Amino acid sequence: MKVKKNYLRPIDFKHGRVDMTHGAGGRAAAQLIDELFAAAFDNEYLRQGHDGALLPQPKGRLVMATDGHVISPLFFPGGDIGCLSVHGTVNDVAMSGAWPLYLAASFIIEEGYPLADLKRIVESMASAARQAGVPIVTGDTKVVEKGKGDGVFISTTGVGVVPDGLLIDGRQARAGDAIVVSGTLGEHGVAVMSQRESLTFETAIKSDTAALHTLVQAMLQALPDPARLHVLRDPTRGGLATTLNEIARQSQVGMSLIEGDIPVLPEVAAACELLGLDPLYVANEGKLIAICSPEAADTLLAAMRAHPLGHGAARIGTVTADDNCFVQMATRFGGRRVVDWLSGEQLPRIC
Amino acid sequence: MKYIDEFRDGDAARLIASKIAAEALPDQAYNFMEFCGGHTHAISRYGISGMLPANVRMIHGPGCPVCVLPIGRIDLAISLALDRGVMLCTYGDTMRVPASDSLSLIKAKARGGDIRMVYSAADALALAEQHPHREVVFFAIGFETTTPPTALVLREAKARQLTNFSVLCCHVLTPAAITHLLESAQARELGAIPIDGFIGPAHVSIIIGSQPYVHFARTYHKPVVITGFEPLDVMQGILMLVRQMNSGRAEVENEFSRVVTATGNLAAQKVMAQVFELRESFEWRGLGEVPASALKIRPEFAAWDAEVKFDLHYASVPDHKQCECGTILRGIKRPADCKLFGTVCTPESPMGSCMVSNEGACAAHYSYGRFQDIAVVAA
């Protein structure tokens, strides 16, 4: 007698929902991985089918970064948790001046979550990874009972490589350095807030979520001496203000900003006014802060402005010698003030 | 942003600053209190103090609604959420106010309390309708500005006979607090009250009008300039106070005439009077008991009064012994004079009322103005 080939009813991606069997490691889990995740992320390393991906050893020093994504809502103007989870980690790797090589992704999905939405998220993630040229080489899926999660949480880890001799980190800012941002601030946070149930307001503002590694490479290549680029950081949660305070503390320096030079879209400024937020504290997902030697600032700005993700780049201030590590700002109004750390939470679950 | 940027224009600010500098008499001290937290915030955020001559000093008053909320009131709200299982709704600013046992509403939420941040009183009423089997309590705080919306939802709840909704009313009144500041025993003991004039409330005055301040100008001979919350408004208000003092006047002037009238919003006053009556006395954090300074819900609305419904009894809880909020709010001391300021008392772990919200005197100074203290030490 001939053994019948296993027949599997295709997953109903239109009306189906995630249930506990999808995370149980059995046939249903394997089918979801094959038909959704493996199909979308397809690459030679994933095709190995191991628990871990076997990767060639790259030249240079390794950079590794990890980021958990718990944003609410999962879909927002300009993006969704899928592409955000790729951009967030690619950017964390790139902020060491590294070129990102591989990503790993871990999903925690709530029982009952619509498969159609999960598919949208996974496909957005796959497309973001392809666009960035960084394959997702390994992953994991877990399902938690209804009420124990909030739709989907995605944790991604990235590995990249940075050439020997390049040292870009938060401890390298020196008095006199120029502070540069790659574009307008606050779009991501405001776009997400505009979608919150309790806060219905209409706006055309889209999240700026984007992978910044090509911008970083363009910046490094433009500088005759890449060592003049001292610090790179993406001002995500807590925005520009919090990120600059972090760098000031790490480098034991102060900062002096000029409010009138900080780029903010008028519609973001208006929305912040309405919500009682300060755009300097609102999250970004496709912007970076660069701190460089003053003589390199013009070259760096020109290189940034020539890149599509840096066309709005602007010099916003100067690093100062200050044992108190104050970030100060000359206000547009004509006064001075401290731009302090964010205290408490301004916007919960923004990334 | 049309209609906003005009009120934040740097050139106009410099012009007013130069007028203040030219007109303020060099041997005269000008100590002005801005009562409202909104003004405190504008002064700090735009760096206005640094644009004034050294003899024109701004004293940050007690007009920050979350700052003046006493520990005992937050304790009542927390006990409703944790011990009585109610869904407690409140404005976001209230979440971090420190209460007893190192708790706050945000910490009580982490312990399992169903505490929701809402943007309006109407959102709380809507939650009660969506959850008919839950007791929903709106923890109502604020000055006259936020009182009419609370009055409206109480009227609405009664009209619809919504029995699972009630309000924990902590609304307070501005004129009573100003009287208290001017009359307080401490001020009398010290002989001279260090306040020469008031930047009068902006949004509060839209509701109550400019009339209630005439008493302060006449009885205590203190000039009052009702002033908007934009930084140019504040600069202009300060200039008007300087001019009043220079000419020996003590009048109520209205800089915020684009919205404030003499009589205020009569419709709002009417609905407030329908729903609320005066409390004999109310404890303010930092100021202590202030007679006739707050509102309670009228007996006709008792079924929607959380204090009646849940048989709540207020117990006063003292602040930290070394906390100087009381003297800072009265203008006698400055934030940096307090031993706790910037050491154990910071915006992350506030000990006293002035550090609780960015509108509080200490938090505003900590977050925006600390570098000035350093400069003073260095000089």
Indicate yes or no: CB of B8 within 8 angstroms of CB of A333. yes
* 8 A C-beta contact, residue A138 and residue A46: yes
pLDDT digits (tens, 9 = 90+) for B235-276: 999 999 999 999 999 999 999 999 999 999 999 999 999 999
Among A162, A194, A227, identify where a domain stops.
Answer: A162
Which of B47, B96, B371 comes nearest A331 by C-beta? Answer: B47
* Residues on B contacting A at a C-beta cutoff of 8 Å: 1, 4, 8-10, 13-14, 17, 44-51, 95-96, 106, 117-119, 123, 231, 346-348, 366-371, 374
In a domain, A238, yes or no: yes
CA–CA separation, B299 vs B303, rounded Å? 8
Same domain for A288 and A223: yes
Reading the block at residue A158, the tokens are 């990235």
Q: Is B221 helix (H, G, I), strand (E, B) or coil?
A: coil
Domain residue spans in chain B?
5-63+192-199+212-253, 71-174+264-309, 325-378
Alpha carbon of residue B330 to chain centroid? 14
Verify that A241 and A117 share a domain, yes or no.
no
Name residue A241's amino acid. A
Per-residue pLDDT band at B193 (split at 50, 70, 90): low
Domain B71-174+264-309 belongs to what topology? Rossmann fold (3.40.50)
CATH number at residue A183: 3.90.650.10
Is A173 part of a structural domain of the chain?
no
Q: Are A219 and A143 members of one domain?
A: no
* Angle at CA of residue B273, ends B270 and B274, nearest 5°: 90
Last residue of one domain, picked from the residues A132, A162, A192: A162
**CB-based burial of residue A48 (10 Å sphere; 0-12 exposed, 13-18 middle, 19+ buried)?**
middle
Nearest CA in chain B to A347: B92
Q: Is the link from the previous residue into A73 a cis peptide, with omega within 30 of 0?
A: yes
**Rounded-to-integer distance, Cα B90 and Cα B74, Å:** 11
Give the closest residue to B58 by CA, choosing from B41, B40, B42, B46: B40
Considering only CA atoms, which of B126, B115, B73, B120 is closest in space to residue B285? B73
Which pLDDT band holds residue B97 (cuts at 50, 70, 90)?
confident
Is B48 close to A336, i.e. CB distance below 8 A?
no
Claim to verify: residue A88 and residue A219 sit in the same structural domain: no
Residue B69 has pLDDT above 60, yes or no: yes
Task: Mutate one of B18, B105, B371 to test the A interface: name it (highest A CB count within 10 A).
Answer: B371
pLDDT per position as a tens digit, B289-306: 999 999 999 999 999 999
Q: How confident is the model at residue B362 (pLDDT cuts 50, 70, 90)?
A: very high
User: Where does chain A have alpha helices with state H?
Assistant: 27-32, 39-41, 81-94, 115-132, 187-193, 213-222, 239-251, 266-275, 297-305
Q: Are residues A275 and A215 in the same domain?
A: yes
Task: Identify the pLDDT of residue B15.
Answer: 96
Residues A146 and A252 occupy one common structural domain: no
CA distance B13 to B17: 6
CB contact under 8 A, A333 and B370: no
One domain, residues A222 and A291: yes
State the residue for tokens 């941002």. Answer: A181
Expressed as residue numbers, the domain containing A101 is 20-162
Return the residue matching tokens 């990503």: A103
The CA distance from A215 to A213, in Å, is 5
How much is the pLDDT for B1? 58
**How many structural domains is chain A composed of?**
2
Q: What is the pLDDT of residue B378?
A: 37
pLDDT at B374: 62
ipTM higher than 0.85?
no
pTM (2 decimals)?
0.87
Mark whether A158 and A275 lie in a shared domain. no
Any chain B CB within 8 A of the CB of A200? no
pLDDT confidence bin for B192, thresholds 50/70/90: low
Provide the pairing of β-strand A254-258 with A136-144: unpaired
**Chain B positions in Cβ-Cβ contact with residue A273 (cut-off 8 Å):** 1, 4
Cβ(B62)–Cβ(B37) below 8 Å: no
The CATH number assigned to the domain with range B5-63+192-199+212-253 reads: 3.40.50.11750
Q: Is A336 on the interface with B (CB under 8 A)?
A: yes
> Which stretches of chain A drop beneath a pLDDT of 50?
none
Is B369 in Cβ contact with A335 (below 8 Å)?
no
Residues in Cβ contact with A60 at an 8 Å cutoff, skipping those fewer than 6 apart: A161, A162, A163, A164
User: Has residue A243 been placed in a domain?
Assistant: yes
With 70 as the cut, is the pLDDT of residue B334 above it?
A: yes
The answer on A98 and A187 residing in a single domain is: no
Is A113 contained in some domain? yes
Does A137 lie in the same domain as A29? yes
Look at residue A298 and tell me if it is in a domain.
yes
Cβ–Cβ gap A198/B4 under 8 Å: no
- d(CA A121, CA A87) in angstroms, rounded, equals 13
- CATH value at residue A24: 3.30.1330.10
Do A141 and A196 fall within a single domain? no
**Same structural domain, A326 and A197:** yes
Which residues in chain A touch residue B119, judged by CB atoms under 8 angstroms apart? 198-199
- Cα–Cα distances in Å, from B179 out to A348, B207, B213, B222? 40, 19, 10, 11
A114 falls within a domain: yes
